[in-house]
């Protein structure tokens, strides 16, 4: 088991795009979006890089406005056609440029792009953590199976809050107070 290190962490937000998100269960969308936004806000507080991918944006639309706005001026999604971010040369170049090896995955769909990204990154030596409350598929059976297979492959399956407090390591700082406010 591997705890995430703040100076080694990257948050990867996979394919949270307008048309793709619209295909997800309506009752689950708000919680997923909320947790992705919390991860972005925490990344800003903790100075952790955020990478955003878009799967075939011509067909699936752009990243949802809430994420584009929250990332802010530096928003620069990485377009891909490979399901796995690990097989996208542009994404891999951006990830490798960070020099970091602890990757927290958020996004859709858990059994396709998130799963394939997790396996490829694990096979390439990255420590992969999947924020289960910030990942979804159209069907819960697909998500459940994906989580089990990712864990078997070596990913740590947890929650957004669990990973954020690992990045913090201790209480008593202004960062702790800011993260605590985010997760309330």
Domains, the chain: 6-183 (3.40.50.850)
Model pLDDT for residues 113-126, shown as the tens digit of each residue: 999 999 999 999 99
15 is catalytic: yes
Question: Is residue 87 within 8 Å of residue 118, measured between CB atoms?
Answer: no
Residue 43, pLDDT score? 96
Catalytic choice (85, 102, 113, 133): 113
Cα 159 to Cα 134: distance, rounded to the nearest angstrom: 8
Taking residues 89-118, what's their average pLDDT?
A: 98
Cα angle 153, 128, 161 (rounded to 5 degrees) comes to 120
Model pLDDT for residues 7-37, shown as the tens digit of each residue: 999 999 999 999 999 999 999 999 999 999 9
Q: Dig out the tokens for 157 from the structure.
A: 């399956």
113 is catalytic: yes
Q: Dig out the tokens for 42 from the structure.
A: 């925490």
Model pLDDT for residues 28-63, shown as the tens digit of each residue: 999 999 999 999 999 999 999 999 999 999 999 999
pLDDT above 90: residue 73:
no
Residue 37, pLDDT score? 98
Which of 102, 27, 39 shows the shortest CA–CA distance to 66?
39
Catalytic choice (80, 102, 120, 133): 80
Rg of the chain on CA atoms, in Å: 15
Q: What Å distances lie between residue 141 and 60, 69, 177, CA to CA? A: 23, 32, 37
Local confidence band at 74 (pLDDT 50, 70, 90 cut-offs): confident
Pairing verdict, β 78-80 and 50-55:
parallel
Catalytic choice (15, 102, 120, 133): 15
Q: In this structure, how many other beta carbons lie within 10 angstroms of the beta carbon of residue 66?
A: 14
Cα 164 to Cα 124: distance, rounded to the nearest angstrom: 24
Cα 135 to Cα 12: distance, rounded to the nearest angstrom: 11
Model pLDDT for residues 149-180, shown as the tens digit of each residue: 999 999 999 999 999 999 999 999 999 999 99
**Averaged pLDDT of the chain:** 96
pLDDT above 90: residue 1:
no
pLDDT above 90: residue 91:
yes
At residue 50, φ and ψ (nearest 5 deg) are: -120, 125
Q: Percent of the chain scored above 70 by pLDDT?
A: 100
Residue 2, pLDDT score? 81
pLDDT above 80: residue 101:
yes
What pTM did the predictor assign? 0.96
Cis peptide before 109 (omega within 30 of 0): yes
């Amino acid at each position: 088991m591997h705890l995430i290190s703040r100076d080694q962490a990257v948050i990867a937000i996979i394919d949270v795009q307008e048309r793709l998100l619209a295909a997800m269960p309506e009752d689950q969308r708000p919680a997923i979006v909320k947790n992705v936004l919390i991860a972005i806000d925490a990344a800003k507080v903790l100075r952790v890089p955020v990478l955003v991918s878009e799967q075939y944006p011509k067909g699936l639309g752009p990243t949802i406005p809430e994420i584009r706005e929250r990332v802010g001026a530096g928003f620069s999604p990485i377009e891909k056609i490979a399901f796995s971010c690990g097989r996208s040369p542009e994404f891999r170049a951006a990830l490798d440029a960070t020099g970091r090896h602890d990757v927290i995955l958020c996004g859709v769909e858990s059994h396709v792009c998130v799963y394939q990204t997790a396996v490829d990154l694990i096979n390439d030596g990255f420590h992969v953590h999947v924020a289960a409350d910030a990942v979804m598929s159209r069907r819960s059976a697909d998500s459940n199976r994906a989580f089990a297979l990712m864990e078997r492959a070596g990913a740590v399956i947890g929650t957004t809050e669990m990973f954020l407090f690992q990045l913090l390591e201790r209480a008593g700082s202004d960062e702790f107070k800011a993260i605590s406010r985010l997760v309330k």
